[in-house]
Amino acid sequence: MVDWQVTAATIHCDAVADDVTIIVYPDWSTKCTGLEKYTTSREESLNLVRRSLALRLALDCQQADCARIPEYVEKLKTEEARRNRSSD
């Protein structure tokens, strides 16, 4: 079990061309602010379409298929394992 309550990282998500925060809880459950922002808010969804047209890119939150969240969780698990090995 980890000894932190929550950890987060803000990254630039190229899928939505915006900064998002990935939050990881001690039970390894996650939350992405971009997912909430772009899938629950109609206004933000429209803004994403407008930005997509302006940038001439296909911007879309990848939701469950997003690779950024599991990559960050794996990084944390690796760091946690190293820390546990060094403290033994």
The domains of the chain are located at 7-87
What confidence tens digit (pLDDT) does each residue in 73-87 have? 999 999 988 888 887
pLDDT of residue 1: 60
What confidence tens digit (pLDDT) does each residue in 41-79 have? 899 999 999 999 999 999 999 988 999 999 999 999 999
DSSP single-letter state for residue 65: G
Which among 28, 41, 31 is positioned nearest to 9, based on CA atoms? 31
The structure's pTM equals 0.83
pLDDT of residue 83: 85
Terminal-to-terminal C-alpha distance of the chain: 15
What confidence tens digit (pLDDT) does each residue in 1-30 have? 677 889 999 999 999 999 999 999 999 999
